[in-house]
């Protein structure tokens, strides 16, 4: 397990903070058709699990839904660099996700962001398993 230290994002080790400038980070704001939310949730879970396990350049993908209105979804994304992001967009599993969710997504806004500070506990400290862990909302 890699230790995350102040000022360095997961999965970087001490001494690699300079690489943070190469990261491509964005947030996606989505509105999902409430009648199709459970189908969307299944599709995004499959997409994220596959991307994180199969793409070395996909560092972080977190999808969350607002508690009061689960049809409002936010996705926080961190890629090794812009090339990793472009490669992700061309992956078979991402194209499948886009085709599957096309009629579920009512709106999508992509917001490129600059990381100010990224930090996380080690997986072991979170009680995580080797596979991405699914957390239920509600």
Lowest mean pLDDT among 15-19, 24-28, 60-64: 15-19
Mean pLDDT of the 35-42 span = 98
Q: What pTM was estimated for this model as a whole?
A: 0.77
Assigned token pair, 39 = 């189908």
Domain extent listing, the chain: 24-126
* Higher-pLDDT residue of 39, 3: 39
Residue 77 half-sphere exposure toward CB, CA atoms < 13 A: 24
pLDDT of residue 11: 52
CB atoms within 10 A of CB 88: 19
**What CATH number does domain 24-126 carry, 3.40.50.720, 1.10.260.40, 3.30.70.100, 3.30.70.20?**
3.30.70.100
Average pLDDT of the chain is 84
């Amino acid at each position: 397990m890699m230790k995350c230290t102040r000022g360095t994002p997961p999965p970087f080790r001490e001494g690699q903070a300079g690489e943070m400038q190469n990261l491509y980070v964005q947030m996606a704001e989505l509105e999902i058709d409430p009648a199709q939310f459970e189908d969307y949730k299944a599709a995004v879970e499959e997409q994220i699990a596959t991307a994180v396990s199969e793409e070395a350049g996909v560092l972080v993908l977190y999808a969350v839904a607002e508690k009061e209105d689960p049809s409002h979804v936010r996705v926080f994304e961190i890629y090794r660099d812009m090339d990793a992001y472009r490669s992700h967009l061309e992956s078979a599993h991402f194209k499948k996700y886009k085709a599957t969710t096309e009629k579920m997504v009512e709106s999508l806004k992509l917001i490129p962001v600059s990381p100010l500070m990224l930090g996380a506990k080690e997986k072991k400290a979170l009680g995580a398993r080797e596979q991405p862990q699914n957390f239920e909302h509600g």
